[in-house]
């Protein structure tokens, strides 16, 4: 648990000095995900992937019933970690090596445990970046998710002596052999009329770009409700009073909610994608605030064989922009600043490299 305050009851969270490499956290308050949680997730994101909302479709593919959305699983596990890891975080910087395990069904209870992998102090000495590996499990002990993330966090005392840099190297992508395809998956009765999609695995060409057409505004009440759904209590998303004198002067939308909206938008053009197998890497490149409208495009990076006749994997790059429609307005991913350094265009809020399971066309 987090470092305690003087009264030894309320916790104030951990700061950079508290994250020694190898330290482990068993996070409190496991979470049982219900049908209500799944319905609220749809209400907040407009997600349409049928495996997560159509019980009959899910059963036709070999599952017990509809499964919990993979990203709802991610956010729930992530939310468990916040009081211990990122209550005092300034920003969540990125993800890597995220692997989704056994499917989660409504009624399953998820818990989380994290291990500190390394850290790097800032040159100014008042903040630092911490890398952790988090593993989420269900009530039977089955792994449902494992991922690395890194975040910028304040030091408790800037005068604390500097620590050695032991930041880890993260893999560029999850290896195909590590991708978990649900053992019960049976695509012999996959019905394309259910998804409405027209494109199969072989129809996606590396180098192709798909504009997802629609945009979605992020409302204040919705992003606050989403963070509460995930029990993500990070100050940056909740405490308007504490943030009034901060860099932005207001609450920042939880980056995971941006991911969920972007993937919901990406349904149009990737309708047959059944589930997320992995997140290879991700960057929240610019902040999102209430009132911003999000758009998305997908670049197809790679087609991956899984040793199956009925399905393969697609490695995709999902990019989300704010207040700029990349389908109709020129929107570069990167730009060069006055100092000659390359950085993300100010309208780009998400750069996510992930892998999905995609059926092959029936023979």
All structural domains of the chain: 1-154 (3.10.129.10), 195-218+253-363 (3.10.129.10)
> What pLDDT is stored for residue 236 in this prediction?
79
Question: What residues does 43 pair with on adjacent strands?
Answer: none
Mean pLDDT over 315-319 rounds to 98
> What pLDDT is stored for residue 297 in this prediction?
98
* Of 173, 174, 181, 175, residue with least CA distance to 308: 181
pLDDT tens digits, residue range 270-304? 999 999 999 999 999 999 999 999 999 999 999 99
Mean pLDDT over 216-227 rounds to 95
* Rounded-to-integer distance, Cα 348 and Cα 255, Å: 12
Residue 2 has pLDDT above 80, yes or no: no
The pLDDT > 70 percentage for the chain reads 98
Question: What residues does 267 pair with on adjacent strands?
Answer: none
Residue 55 has pLDDT above 60, yes or no: yes
> What pLDDT is stored for residue 7 in this prediction?
63
Residue 265 has pLDDT above 90, yes or no: yes
Q: Is 13 left (phi over 0), alpha (psi -120 to 50) or beta?
A: left
Structure tokens at 286: 């610019």
Residue 242 has pLDDT above 60, yes or no: yes
Contact 114, 81 (CB under 8 A): yes
> What pLDDT is stored for residue 5 in this prediction?
53
pLDDT tier, 75 (very low <50, low <70, confident <90, very high otherwise): very high
> What pLDDT is stored for residue 247 in this prediction?
79
Contact 55, 68 (CB under 8 A): no
Residue 145 has pLDDT above 60, yes or no: yes
Residue 3 has pLDDT above 80, yes or no: no
135 against 156, higher pLDDT: 135
């Amino acid at each position: 648990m987090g470092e305690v305050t003087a009264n030894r009851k309320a916790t104030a969270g951990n700061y950079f000095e508290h994250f020694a490499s190898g330290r482990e956290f068993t996070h409190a308050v496991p979470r049982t995900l219900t049908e209500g949680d799944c319905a609220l997730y749809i209400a907040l994101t407009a997600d349409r992937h049928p495996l997560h909302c159509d019980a009959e479709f899910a059963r036709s593919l070999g599952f017990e019933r509809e499964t919990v959305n993979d990203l709802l699983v991610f956010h729930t596990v992530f939310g468990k970690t916040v009081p211990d890891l990122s209550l005092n975080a300034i920003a969540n910087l990125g993800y890597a090596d995220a692997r989704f395990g056994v499917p989660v069904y409504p009624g399953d209870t998820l818990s989380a445990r994290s291990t500190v992998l390394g850290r790097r102090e800032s040159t100014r000495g008042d903040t630092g970046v911490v890398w952790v590996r988090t593993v989420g499990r269900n009530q039977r002990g089955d792994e449902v998710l494992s991922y690395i993330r890194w975040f910028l966090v304040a030091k408790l005392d800037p005068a604390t002596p500097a620590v050695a840099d032991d930041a880890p190297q993260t893999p560029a992508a999850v290896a195909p052999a590590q991708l978990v395809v649900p053992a019960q998956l049976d695509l012999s009765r996959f019905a394309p009329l259910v998804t409405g999609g027209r494109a199969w695995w072989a129809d996606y060409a590396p180098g192709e770009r798909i504009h997802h057409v629609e945009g979605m505004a992020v409302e204040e009440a919705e992003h606050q409700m989403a963070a509460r759904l995930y029990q993500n209590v990070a100050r940056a998303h909740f405490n308007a009073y504490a943030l009034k004198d901060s860099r932005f002067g207001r609450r920042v939308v939880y980056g995971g909610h941006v991911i969920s909206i972007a993937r919901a938008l990406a349904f149009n053009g990737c309708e047959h994608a059944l589930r997320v197998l992995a997140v290879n890497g991700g960057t929240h490149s610019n902040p999102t605030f209430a009132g911003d409208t999000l758009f998305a495009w997908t670049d197809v990076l790679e087609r991956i064989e899984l040793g199956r006749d009925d399905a393969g994997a697609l490695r995709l790059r999902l990019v989300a922009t704010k207040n700029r429609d990349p389908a109709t307005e020129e929107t570069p991913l990167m730009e060069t600043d006055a100092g000659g350094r390359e950085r993300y265009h100010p309208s780009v809020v998400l750069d996510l490299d992930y892998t999905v399971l995609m059926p092959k066309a029936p023979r």
